[in-house]
Structure 1
């Protein structure tokens, strides 16, 4: 059908709609455009904009056959209490079909403090597992073959230290570093913008990240050295377009820092990965994932002149949206997570964590985690969504939404470029302010009823019974962990620790020195996370947040 005929038929349709709306008024606050047609798909250059899976610009996926040959990695995020308790959960997940582990660390670990530090009081083991030294990491992966499992670690400011611990555990297991597979999040810029678990100022933090890039490219080549994260940006309240724009701007900054440090783009770009949020609006999320691949491919090819296809592929992990889970009627969250899972799979994720129904109330129980894992398995084996590649391609709506989100994201990226890049935009408070404004609008829409959240502002239940059997972390965990750390310090060679920390401090003072070998040496003496981070605090200082309003 010609464009002219489509336009004529569309005009007739719109005239008929007026009568229908008069009889059945549409719901308020819906998107302005109610229908999409071929007129909404820009251009006709299929090869340059959509193309095929595994082919530039990778809009349709990074692998030629996607899930027809191999499902995404079902990587369940877990960690709580002590290393012993988390080890039990990891082994249960592997026995139930999980194909990758994803480690959650407690707050003191995330900000580089030992469990024995007064600042850690009341937080040890609460939102993740407490890891103070190599001894804890050995326990965490007891009876888990690091040569066979792929492990993701959600750790940022002290990522270098936790990676060093992982390498040291593998060495003790007889697994060489060049065989290790996994990811460290290692994305400090989004911590300043959205999450808050930073330690050092941006510029020394960027040095640590590029040191990891360089070290792993030579010694741990199968490891993904950073998971550039939009997840937390979305959890903080951003829109879909802001999530990918701000995250890709961070990715640009990491690439620029690595090149400035002397690395070549094709030597490290293939090990960069991303981390996206799967929100509730299924079709918008599919479009977001497709747009993100296309933008990154163009950035790598046109800005950084990457030559390898692998450098241009945006590979990503997805986690379902924790901020969309409700404490009210928590079983509704099973449905939300199933829809978010469908979005991630139709959008072409490489790995996926599904949140559990009770996470708005507490850390998930074993039963809830099993349901979350089964959700992935049902989508994989029963839904048919994984049987074809990019199943929504060609949808007038999805293609138009992909183009729209891409255009909005490019506008943000240009603004950030004009400010001097992501680091400068964060230092000026621009990114933080944009996220805060979006989060405020969302909350106002919920409170006014313009946006319906089932069970929260509509379809509530009177006298709702609170859920039973929530997981509670024993308050004694902190005291037990302190005792373990103190006992370990008595047994280790403290002179070796002192020497390793002195060597690390000297290396920190030399801007041209790669810190990873020195951190690894300190880890092997059983120097604690806090001791190592305190040496770096002494040299680099600590970051203090501010937002320009």
Structure 2
């Protein structure tokens, strides 16, 4: 992009500037630190110039939006044509309560739903299971059967709303319930749009809501890929998630590397199952975190997009440009929210949301100011949603595509993150791929080491967290926090008891037996799971039918 003579002259001028202008100032006013670095510990130079991006080839490395390598965005006009989907992750207590919250959010201008499930639902237990005690409806909505799912989406037209569901191990079951609810509304499965997270590999390293061992878990995932490619073509069959990897303590580089390494594993599993890459890859989606380091986060999203395009084209020989597009949802960083001075979280979330938009996200959830203390109140959720709307309609950042492109700093960071992420991916390949690297504890150990370094920086004061280790104040205990009524568990148990007494239990028994039988074969399990769901077999019963065949995963502990 720059001729040799100009670069040589610039190098001389930069040396002159450093030895005269800069040196004089530093002698009077030293810089705050000897070494400056990003939130992920990448060194930050005092100044960036064309010298830092001299190897860049515009067409090869950047290109145009909507074209390979998609560095500048996956759509030619980006937000000039259509804004990102504004989702607020929500769900708590009973399906009735969550349904009211969804209708409220839609009335306030939200453009897509994002369902949070409670812990028992995420790990395949009904609300009346002994292990569910004390957890029913606490961190999300309790869904025990199709009856709950019908209530959750009552009055919400599923052919007009895009729904994202944060569910992994029982993803096939929740998707089956969603399809069945739509059918009852008169909406065919080919009209449904949305996403299931369905990313089990990151559960083994960062989140922990797994049920089955890796091999049968991967089989369920590829069954969903195959089924949806034929019957639910608008559905994103997986949201390959870096969000939870980052929440566990990973750096921005590790978030990109480990997420894309997991993506590679899913693509390989699907190809091994006999699927053509261009049949399923266009419906793969990703889920990333947005932290406070604005420029690093923007560069991270751009690097991830370019790297995935190269992987799909060069490694998997994809032909369809849509197979090479990294489409992603972003959530602001829950781990950065503080219980101290919670109103400060509004500012943090604004910076993080801005980074996601400048980085070209397709969908965005903004955390609420009180989430370090409790589930968010309606007022807090409204502020979080308004944050997105103000960025969209008032900030001006949506008027042009990829507005930070050409920044010497941002382009340098984009190149650096891509390079370092690729080094991790090569290491994981040497270990035999992401599942093997997880089995050996490599990825877990890398994340733990990064989390430890980050915490050390806070405790030493090298990393300032406003209100936590600097600028503290005396505070009153928080008031008006949202609390889930303990009666929710009792209500769910009563609903389950009534359901089991009124449904056709012979049909349930036959459907579950057929599912266990099919699980021992190589047949696609989605049609049988849909049958089970329609008999009102519960989530726990369906998971138990699979547990009997697949067994349960026991974690490898590493220190």
Q: Same fold (TM over 0.5)?
A: yes
Q: Distance in 1 between matches of 2:476 and 2:330?
A: 32
Q: Could you tell me which of 446, 450, 454 is aligned with 1:442?
A: 454
Q: Distance in 1 between matches of 2:23 and 2:427?
A: 40
Match of 1:480 in 2: 491
Match of 2:285, SS? strand
Q: Distance in 1 between matches of 2:557 and 2:75?
A: 41
TM superposition shift of 1:18: 2.4
Match of 2:287, SS? strand
**What pairs with 1:438-477 in structure 2 (closer than 5 Å)?**
438-462=450-474, 464-477=475-488
Match of 2:40 in 1: none
Match of 2:36 in 1: 30
Per-residue displacement from partner, 1:335-386 (whole Å, max 9, x unpaired)?
0001111100000000000000000000000000000000000000000011
Q: Distance in 2 between matches of 1:508 and 1:44?
A: 51
**What pairs with 1:331-370 in structure 2 (closer than 5 Å)?**
331-370=343-382
Q: Distance in 2 between matches of 1:374 and 1:169?
A: 31
- Contact 1:433/1:547 (8 A) holds in 2: no
Match of 1:2, SS? helix
Q: Distance in 1 between matches of 2:147 and 2:508?
A: 14
Q: Could you tell me which of 540, 544, 557 is aligned with 1:530?
A: 540
**What pairs with 1:189-204 in structure 2 (closer than 5 Å)?**
189-204=201-216
TM superposition shift of 1:19: 2.3
TM-score of the superposition, structure 2-length normalised?
0.97
Q: Say whether 1:57 aligns with 2:69.
A: yes
TM superposition shift of 1:75: 1.0
Q: Could you tell me which of 262, 268, 271 is aligned with 1:259?
A: 271
Q: Say whether 1:398 aligns with 2:404.
A: no
Match of 2:86 in 1: 74
Q: Distance in 1 between matches of 2:10 and 2:142?
A: 62
Structure 2 stretches of 5 or more lacking a match? 38-42
**Shift >3 Å, 4+ stretches:** none
Match of 1:119, SS? helix
TM superposition shift of 1:466: 2.1
Q: Distance in 1 between matches of 2:71 and 2:344?
A: 32
TM superposition shift of 1:548: 4.2
Q: Distance in 1 between matches of 2:155 and 2:363?
A: 23
Match of 1:226 in 2: 238
Structure 1 stretches of 5 or more lacking a match? none
Match of 1:317, SS? strand
Match of 2:298 in 1: 286
Match of 1:128 in 2: 140
Q: Distance in 1 between matches of 2:24 and 2:553?
A: 60
**What pairs with 1:1-40 in structure 2 (closer than 5 Å)?**
2-15=6-19, 16-28=21-33, 29-31=35-37, 32=43, 33-40=45-52
Q: Say whether 1:517 aligns with 2:527.
A: yes
Q: May I ask how many residue pairs the two structures share in their alignment?
A: 547
Match of 2:356, SS? helix
Match of 2:509 in 1: 498
**What pairs with 1:32-431 in structure 2 (closer than 5 Å)?**
32=43, 33-431=45-443
Give the aligned CA root-mean-square deviation in angstroms. 0.8
Match of 1:137, SS? helix
TM superposition shift of 1:42: 4.3
Match of 2:113, SS? strand
Moved more, 360-369 or 6-15: 6-15
- Contact 1:240/1:288 (8 A) holds in 2: yes
TM superposition shift of 1:44: 3.6
Per-residue displacement from partner, 1:467-496 (whole Å, max 9, x unpaired)?
210000011111111111111111100000
Q: Distance in 2 between matches of 1:175 and 1:346?
A: 36
Per-residue displacement from partner, 1:215-242 (whole Å, max 9, x unpaired)?
0001000000000000000000000000
Per-residue displacement from partner, 1:180-201 (whole Å, max 9, x unpaired)?
0000000000000111000000
- Contact 1:430/1:548 (8 A) holds in 2: no
TM superposition shift of 1:30: 1.7
- Contact 1:428/1:547 (8 A) holds in 2: no
Q: Distance in 2 between matches of 1:173 and 1:117?
A: 31
Match of 1:339, SS? helix
Match of 1:86, SS? helix
Per-residue displacement from partner, 1:101-131 (whole Å, max 9, x unpaired)?
0000000000000000000000000000000
Match of 2:274, SS? coil
Q: Distance in 2 between matches of 1:307 and 1:240?
A: 29
Q: Distance in 1 between matches of 2:358 and 2:228?
A: 32
Q: Distance in 1 between matches of 2:402 and 2:83?
A: 14
